[in-house]
């Protein structure tokens, strides 16, 4: 995420990002619960989150599960020419099986995680990505797991 976007956060957006990365309410009304804890309306919460998404500061709100708790997953990388990187990254982000993707300064410059219901489903997604982008994927399945807390305070 560009640093210029982070500097434009208002106080509510910063609270939403800092306070609910890890403690998102698990209930039938999570946004109302967040609003109640902040002393604002559910509409204000939804509008602030929508603005964060519109401005590219967040891409989605949803759970991140430990690998292989639900189905199967793999880390994937691709070598994409710079001129095609944004187009391919946007396509990758549009797939429901993608947890997140990011650019790295390396020959293999696009990285993402695929989570699928079965190994067959995962292989189908990998094949579809190659067919739809014209670029090869390199699947790097996890051999040994390590827990890293990815939450961060802004």
3-state secondary structure string across 59-111: CCCCCCCCCCCCCEEEEEEECCCHHHHHHHHHHHHHCCCEEEEEECCCCCCEE
Contact 114, 126 (CB under 8 A): yes
Q: Sort 154 into a burial class: Cβ within 10 Å, 0-12 / 13-18 / 19+.
A: exposed
Instruction: Convert the pLDDT of each residue in 18-58 to its tens digit.
Output: 888 888 899 999 999 999 999 999 999 999 999 998 888 88
Q: Say how far apart CA 77 and CA 111 lie, in whole Å.
A: 4
Mean pLDDT score of the chain, rounded to an integer? 87
| pTM of the shown model | 0.60
**CATH code, 72-140:** 3.30.70.3460
What SS3 class is residue 121? helix
| Extents of the domains making up the chain | 10-54, 72-140
Using CA atoms, how far apart are residues 122 and 97, in angstroms rounded to an integer? 9
């Amino acid at each position: 995420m560009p640093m210029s976007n982070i500097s434009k956060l208002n106080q509510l957006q910063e609270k939403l990002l800092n306070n609910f990365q890890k403690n998102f309410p698990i209930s039938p009304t999570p946004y109302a619960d967040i609003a109640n804890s902040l002393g604002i309306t559910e509409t204000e919460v939804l509008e602030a989150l929508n603005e964060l998404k519109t401005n590219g500061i967040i891409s989605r709100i949803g759970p991140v599960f430990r690998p292989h708790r639900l189905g199967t997953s793999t880390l994937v990388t691709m070598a994409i020419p710079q001129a095609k990187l944004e187009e391919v990254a946007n396509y990758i982000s549009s797939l429901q099986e993608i947890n997140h993707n990011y650019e790295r300064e390396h020959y293999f410059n696009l990285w993402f995680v695929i989570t699928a219901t079965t190994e067959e489903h995962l292989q189908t997604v990998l094949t579809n990505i190659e067919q739809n982008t014209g670029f090869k994927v390199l699947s790097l399945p996890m051999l040994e797991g390590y827990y890293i807390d990815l939450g961060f305070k802004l």
